[in-house]
A = this chain, B = another copy of it.
Amino acid sequence: MIPPGRRKVPAISRPTSKDVAQEAGVSQSTVSLVLGGKWTGRVSPATARSVRIAAERLGYRPNKAARNLRLGTTRTVLLMVPTLTAPFFGPVYTGAARVAARHGFGVVVSTWPEDDPAGTGETVDRTPRNGPWASPHEAIDGILASSMAASTTATTVGGALREYRLTPAVMLDSGPAGDRVPTVDFGVADGMRAIVEHLAALGHRRIGHVAAAVDQWTFRTRADALTAAVTALPGGTVTRASCMIDVTSAKDAAGRLLDRSDRPTALVCDDDLIAAGAYKAARARGLDVPADLSVTGFDDVLLATALEPELTTVRLPAEELGTQGMTALLDLLAGRRPPPRTLPGELIVRGSTAPPAPGDKDPRTP
């Protein structure tokens, strides 16, 4: 009964611990003991040495699948992100991997839903029986699901009581989930409020929102918080245009706002990359940032300081998101129930914001 995997690659057949045992003239269990580092006091040094030599000679590498099955754990966690193209997720991984490593866990990243890898326009479900939470093939101990689409979050978390029992999961940057799943989120509403306060203090009232047309909790929250904060301002008005998170699309959207007769004096952008597009739209119209137009970003990725002028934005502690998320997941795996956490963003004021040009100033402000 040869498994089909073997049949395909007949030339290559990895040695097993049995082969090593035979080579060393010992039993298979001795090999396992020695190579597993649990031999002291149980196997003679001489035997251990011969086992190691035999393993080396054969190029033995333990079979992970067998090990995982036997131990009932893989000590591997899957970090699911919507895309790897966004610079935001690098630090999230770094934070998660750091904490994981300390506990002997590995982190592996995958996109969901699939980044449309087949290019068919529809997302590929590689495991029809397994629902959205299941990873396709990997044996894992838990999932860190970051920045899930808001629409699927509802369904997923809706059915989460069941799913959750099956693979321990923590949701990151995906909004509150009650007590159904542990969550770690950013204080994006507060961050947006800080931006509006900053702009208001400078004298801005006509705010343009260049919004990311991305179905995620964080962007919904940003839009809602912005609207609420601006309309609470005396004389405050919001105009809004939506775009994809890329420079060209953002430039177009920003341009639409700048071409209005009631041109905003400040553009609040949902993302630093969108702000780069706003810069371009401004320049194309001969508007100076920040003299003629203030621009703000969100996230504080590397791009924010690469731009000229450097971008006023809200720093989100991405690495901390990974750190806290992994900590929560390890808690969960240990049988605890980590409480939801919110990580505050921080307004970083740089050169892209200034008082509105005199002609643009609202008469009611000083």
Contact = CB atoms under 8 A, between A and B. Distances in A.
A137 interface: yes
Contacts of A9: 333-335
Nearest to A128: B37
Contact of A126 (B72, B104, B305): B104
Contact of A101 (B76, B124, B246): B124
Interface stretch (A56-64, A180-188, A197-205, A261-269): A56-64
Contact of A306 (B8, B75, B307): B307
A90 B84 CA distance: 5
A46 interface: no
A111 B107 CA distance: 9
A119 interface: yes
B71 A5 contact: yes
Contacts of A75: 137
Interface in A134-151: 134-140
A94 interface: yes
A167 B62 CA distance: 12
Please report whether the interface of chain A is mostly helix, strand, loop or mixed according to DSSP.
mixed
Contacts of A64: 135, 137-140
B306 A247 contact: yes
Interface string A283-309: 100000000000000000011011110
A114 interface: yes
Interface stretch (A227-235, A272-280, A339-347, A357-365): A272-280
A308 B335 contact: no
Interface in A89-147: 89-91, 93-94, 97-102, 104-111, 114-115, 117-119, 124, 126, 129-130, 134-140
A117 B105 CA distance: 11
Given A72-B5, A87-B87, A101-B117, A302 B94 contact: no
Nearest to A5: B72
A118 B139 contact: no
B280 A3 contact: no
Contacts of A126: 101, 104, 106
A118 to B, nearest CB: 5
Interface string A3-34: 11110110110100000000000000000000
Contacts of A156: none
A29 to B, nearest CB: 13
A43 interface: no
A162 interface: yes
A61 B101 contact: no
A83 interface: yes
B130 A61 contact: yes
A260 interface: no
A109 B84 contact: yes
A14 to B, nearest CB: 6
Contacts of A305: 247-248
23 contacts: A4-B72, A5-B71, A5-B72, A5-B73, A8-B335, A12-B165, A59-B165, A61-B134, A63-B69, A84-B90, A84-B94, A84-B109, A97-B115, A98-B119, A106-B126, A106-B137, A106-B138, A107-B110, A109-B109, A246-B302, A247-B306, A279-B308, A306-B306
Given A12-B168, A74-B139, A94-B115, 14 more contacts: A5-B72, A5-B73, A8-B333, A59-B162, A61-B130, A64-B137, A85-B91, A93-B111, A102-B118, A106-B137, A107-B110, A273-B306, A280-B308, A303-B306
